[in-house]
Structure 1
Amino acid sequence: MTFMSNVSPSRTLIDKLAFEADLAIDAALRAGSPTMIRSPRTEIEFVAAVTLGSVHDIATAWRPLCRAAGLRLTLTGVFCHAAPRVRFLDGNGRQRQCELADLLIVADVGSPKSFVRQAVLVQAKMARAMQRVSLAGPSSRVQLDLYQNWHVFDFSDPVYGLSQLNLMTGAGAIYSGTIGVLDRHLHLKAQPVWTQHRVKPTPATVSNEPRLGTFMAEMAGNAIGFGREASPSLQTDWSKTIERLLDVTYKQIFHNKAVLGPGGMRRGAHEIVYLMRSLDSAVSSASSGGPPYDYEIQPDDSRPGGISLVHIVLRPFD
């Protein structure tokens, strides 16, 4: 792994970032985002709460801490109702298909021309009981098989333009995917907790695993075991996969001439971008104050929605 000591956050800074991110995510998991009409209850609602509800609060808390350390922060959150699907042959030669992930977390640390990228795919699962994890359902077993063994796979949607991807090439394959466990039973006062679990051994309990905010902060510090290096310069199947997921997610344009004019609105054009997609509508904003409640953008094309995303970028001040 490339290491840039003059840019990477210090241990003290990482601990502060972790504390603030966990605090912000806890609030979002409990109350949801400003656009939600009820507190989150399902996996997809909790992903929406994190990407739409916590990003602004995390950025607000992190920015002065990073500035004091000589780092400029950009934090982006994107929520997509759907997720890219992949297909592969399992160890017995059977054709399988599943969602690649519920959430992608990426951390880019360094200058635009020379940076280290850490990335991780997350499958979000509800705890079946207090501190108990069950991945026994058919879809969960297929997803777990993919994450534990990384069979060669193809994207089902041709827009991604990638096939026969072998994530076992290069170092750290086991850190490519994680299970995010959402436990609504762990604490009193209905405070859900999101913990990040490695896929081997198969998660069964919630014990000392890092919470999501801590995991994100450790990724920003390029810590081993918290995501996998995906720097574009590596030119591995893993780095190409992450680059393509980012590209498709950010470049999607929703067209609504009555609201946006002929140019549409591009994702990722501003420092903090919120996007909420349902089956027939989208809400988007580039405002650091949160999504406006009256921007209902109807997508009128069939292009893909990308992947839900939290993207951390730390750059040195010029």
Structure 2
Amino acid sequence: MELGKQLSAMEAERIYSGANSAIWHSHHEASHHSLLTTREEDYVATLIRVGTPLLAARWAEVLAPHGVSIRISGVFCHARPQVRFAHPGSPIELADLLIVHRHTAKTKRSVCRALLVQAKMSDDGTHVLASNDAQLHLFTTWPDFNFVDRSMDPAVRKLNEKGKGSRYALVRKAHDFPEDISWPDQSPWAEAKAALLLEGTKSFARTLGDMLLGRDGRPTNLIRPTNDWSRLIAELLKITGAKTFRRSNIRLDPKPRLTETEFPGERTLFMAHSKSFTSAPGSLMSILGVNFLPISQTSSGGGDNVGSLIVS
């Protein structure tokens, strides 16, 4: 049974508010620690580094009474899977953010959903793209493409993607307190459908929450991929997810040799795994167990291991 059918309306709202809190605090941290102007990749990196443990803690409080554990892994990657397709602006990056939620029931049956996200900065909840924008062409038509990165399978991909598995995210340029944010749910991140005029009509907190509740994202089979979409997501998690990088602007790496130009096309993977279990006596934290585990480093370009919060 999907999580959305197990929770009450009030509990579902707690899932959304937990995501909203994690997003706001991570956005605040990125702005606070930036040495120069905060860039969208700084905000995304901090969402992973700071937002992930906050998200896990808030969601665990809601899910534990239902016998559901939550595992959230956040990785900010140096690898850059770029794709080539029939467009003058090609090749380009595939996306900025990959969100995956896999839920395993007590019967061992699992369901999985995935979402590719492209982030854009905004000061008013909108963003105008150029009519010949290659990323927009990719996200609106999803033509056949292949990866140019040697680490990825060079085969042509046919995703048959209609929008359930791809979205834009608008990231607020300025740091403001919630009462001063007029975006949906007073969140500094908003979801936008792929179009020339990107409009934040839904908070990104609700996007994350809906992914967890089984209400958003494209169905994906990571165990036995039967189509190019599932094979793509499995490959991204296996190959791109193993690589890390540093962000000196927000002091994730104090070494001055690591400059902006050393990290073209940064990527992020974000994965949540929920699992039903039989509750046992003990405190919430003793039942769930909270550990920081390092992500293995395989990038030839260097970079520190980015800690992932694992709650299981």
Q: TM-score range by the shorter chain?
A: 0.7 to 0.9
The aligned amino acid for 2:202 is P
Q: Between the two proteins, what is the percent identity of the paired residues?
A: 24
TM-score (norm 1): 0.71
Question: 2:170 aligned with 1:181, yes or no?
Answer: yes
Contact 1:147 1:176 in 2 (8 A): no
Deviation of the 1:116 alpha carbon: 1.1
Partner amino acid, structure 1, of 2:240 = T
Alignment match of 1:317 (pick from 277, 286, 294): 277
Describe the shift of the 1:48–1:306 C-alpha distance in structure 2 as closer, same or farther (beyond 3 A). Answer: closer
Residue 95 to residue 249, structure 1, CA distance change in 2 (3 Å) = closer
Contact 2:83 2:94 in 1 (8 A): yes
- The superposition leaves residues 36-72 of structure 1 with CA deviations (integer Å, 9 ceiling, x where unpaired) of 4558721111111111111111111111211112101
Partner secondary structure for residue 133 of structure 1: strand
In the alignment, the residues of structure 2 paired with residue 203 and residue 9 of structure 1 have an alpha-carbon distance, to the nearest angstrom, of: 37
Question: For 1:238, which of 229, 232, 235 is the aligned residue?
Answer: 229
Q: Structure 1: how far apart are the matches of 2:141 and 2:57?
A: 39
Encode CA deviations 1:171-192: one digit per residue, 9 max, x unaligned.
Answer: x632221111112369668867
Contact 1:130/1:186 (<8 A) preserved = no
Counterpart AA for 1:182 = V
- Structure 1 equivalent of residue 60 of structure 2: 63
User: 2:81 maps to what in 1?
Assistant: 84
After TM superposition, the structure 1 = structure 2 runs for residues 96-111 of structure 1, keeping only pairs within 5 Å, are 96-111=90-105
Distance in 1 between residues matched to 2:53 and 2:93, nearest whole Å? 27
1:108-162, Cα deviation, whole Å (9 max, x unpaired): 11249521111111111011x4233111286xx1001001000001011121114
Preserved CA contact (<8 Å) 1:88 1:95: no
| AA at the equivalent of 2:138 | L
Q: Which of the residues 231, 243, 246 maps onto 1:277?
A: 246
* Gap runs ≥5 in structure 1: 253-274, 284-292, 299-304
CA distance in structure 2 between the aligned counterparts of 1:317 and 1:103, rounded to whole angstroms: 29
Q: What is residue 229 of structure 1 aligned with on the other side?
A: 219
Partner of 2:142: 150
* Kept after mapping to 1: 8 A contact 2:190/2:203: yes
Contact 2:170 2:192 in 1 (8 A): yes
SS at match of 1:66: helix
Cα pair distance change 1:30/1:125, threshold 3 Å: same
Question: What is the distance in 1 between the residues matched to 2:50 and 2:220?
Answer: 27
Tell whether the 8 Å contact from 1:83 to 1:308 is kept in structure 2 after alignment. Answer: no
Partner of 2:199: 205
111-120 or 158-167: bigger deviation: 111-120
Equivalent of 1:46 in 38, 43, 48: 43
Aligned residue identity for 1:15 = E
What SS does the corresponding residue of 2:116 show, helix, strand or coil? strand
Q: Is there any run of 5+ residues in structure 2 with no aligned partner, and where?
A: 182-186, 259-264, 279-312
* Root-mean-square deviation (Å): 3.4
Structure-1 separation of matches of 2:93 and 2:239: 16
When structure 1 is superposed on structure 2, of 47-56 and 154-163 the one drifting more is 154-163
Alpha-carbon distance between aligned partners in 1 of 2:71 and 2:43, rounded to the nearest angstrom: 22
2:156 counterpart residue number? 164
**Whole-Å separation in 2 of the counterparts to 1:5 and 1:153:** 33
- In 2, are the aligned partners of 1:194 and 1:211 still within 8 Å (CA)? yes
Measure the CA separation in 1 of the matches of 2:37 and 2:210: 26
Measure the CA separation in 1 of the matches of 2:269 and 2:50: 13
Equivalent residues in 2 for 1:2-17, closer than 5 Å? 4-5=1-2, 9-12=6-9, 13-17=11-15
1:20 matched to 2:18? The reply is: yes
Contact kept, 8 Å, 1:87 with 1:154, in 2: the verdict is yes
The offset of 1:216, in angstroms, is: 0.9
Number of paired residues? Answer: 261
Question: Letter of the aligned partner of 1:97 in structure 2?
Answer: P
Over 3 Å counting, the alpha-carbon distance change for 1:190 and 1:163 in structure 2 is farther
SS in 2 for 1:175: coil
Q: Distance between the aligned counterparts of 2:125 and 2:254, measured in 1?
A: 40
- Name the CA shift for 1:5/1:42 in 2 (closer, same or farther; >3 Å): closer
